[in-house]
């Protein structure tokens, strides 16, 4: 089961949403209400996001969140560190968490901008601080490595080549989501591209998160890398075909319509 750890107070509307979805949570008293993000989706699927920065987080709240995650780590198969950091949080906070958690459990990171760069700087200096999984999209991978994100989104082989560099620096696996172009998975054993099933895009909100969920579900089921990737893309596509923030259900997921192919490794690694 999935367990949410977040700063909030009892009665926050977001906590009620978690209850409605049946997701148990460990609440750390926050410094204000959970931020509200608005996504405006047009009939053609174009999505405009209006993201509230949220309240400034205190050092005490960050310490409490870290302690809660460390306490849960020994009985967790994975811990996912996802999203942007709130105002007041140091950019290296995720990097420090990976260092605290990775000896206890597997850690996946899905973030962007300076927190992503700070994470990369940390494991450049110490491979033991590399996460077990990174899940950038094409633009985030490009920004991290100084490459053209638009070009990466359209070129799975270039994505695999770029992600292979992260593997060589200690990252366990890279799942790069590419929107309508599917996703690329790179591990020390190989690299694969998955093309999504035909999907009428209704809302892209949560599609990347759903892809990450699908991948981790496949890992928990003991699937090999290629079917893990297929499940990731199937869940992401299912999310894109649903309105708003609707969470895909297993009946929405069509792994049989996902095509996975191995990619050539041009790095010689």
Residue 90 near residue 107 (C-beta atoms within 8 A): no
Torsion of CA 206, 185, 135, 218, to 10 degrees: 60
Q: Which of 126, 209, 252, 265 is catalytic?
A: 209
CA distance 216 to 198: 23
What is the maximum span of the chain, computed from C-alpha positions, in angstroms? 54
DSSP string, 178-210: -GGG-EEEEETTEEEEEEPPP---S--TTHHHH
74 is catalytic: no
Six-digit token pair at 195? 């093309």
Please report the beta strands in the chain, taking only residues with DSSP state E, as ranges in sequence order: 4-7, 25-28, 37-41, 47-51, 78-82, 106-110, 133-134, 174-177, 183-187, 190-195, 259-262
Q: Which residues are catalytic?
A: 209
């Amino acid at each position: 089961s999935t367990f949410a750890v977040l700063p909030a107070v009892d009665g926050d509307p977001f906590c009620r949403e978690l209850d409605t979805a049946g997701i148990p949570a460990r609440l750390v008293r926050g410094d204000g209400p959970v931020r509200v993000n608005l996504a405006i989706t047009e009939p053609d699927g174009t999505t405009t996001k209006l993201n509230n920065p949220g309240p400034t987080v205190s050092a005490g709240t960050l310490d409490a969140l870290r302690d809660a995650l460390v306490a849960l780590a020994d009985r967790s198969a994975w811990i996912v560190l996802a999203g942007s950091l709130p105002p007041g949080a140091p950019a290296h906070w995720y990097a420090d968490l990976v260092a605290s958690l990775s000896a206890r459990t597997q850690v996946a990171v899905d973030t962007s901008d300076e927190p992503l760069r700070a994470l990369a700087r940390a494991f450049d200096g110490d491979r033991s601080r590399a996460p077990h999984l990174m899940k950038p999209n094409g633009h985030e991978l490009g920004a991290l490595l100084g490459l053209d994100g638009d070009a990466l989104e359209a070129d799975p082989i270039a994505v695999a080549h770029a992600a292979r560099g992260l593997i060589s620096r200690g990252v366990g696996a890279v799942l790069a989501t590419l929107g309508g172009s599917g996703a690329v998975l790179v591990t020390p054993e190989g690299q694969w591209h998955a093309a999504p099933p035909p999907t009428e895009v209704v809302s892209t909100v949560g599609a990347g998160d759903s892809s990450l969920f699908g991948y981790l579900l496949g890992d928990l089921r003991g699937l090999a890398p290629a079917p893990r990737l297929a499940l990731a893309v199937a869940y992401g596509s299912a999310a894109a075909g649903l309105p708003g923030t609707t969470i895909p259900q297993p009946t929405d997921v069509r792994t049989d319509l996902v095509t996975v192919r191995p990619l050539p490794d041009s790095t010689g690694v």
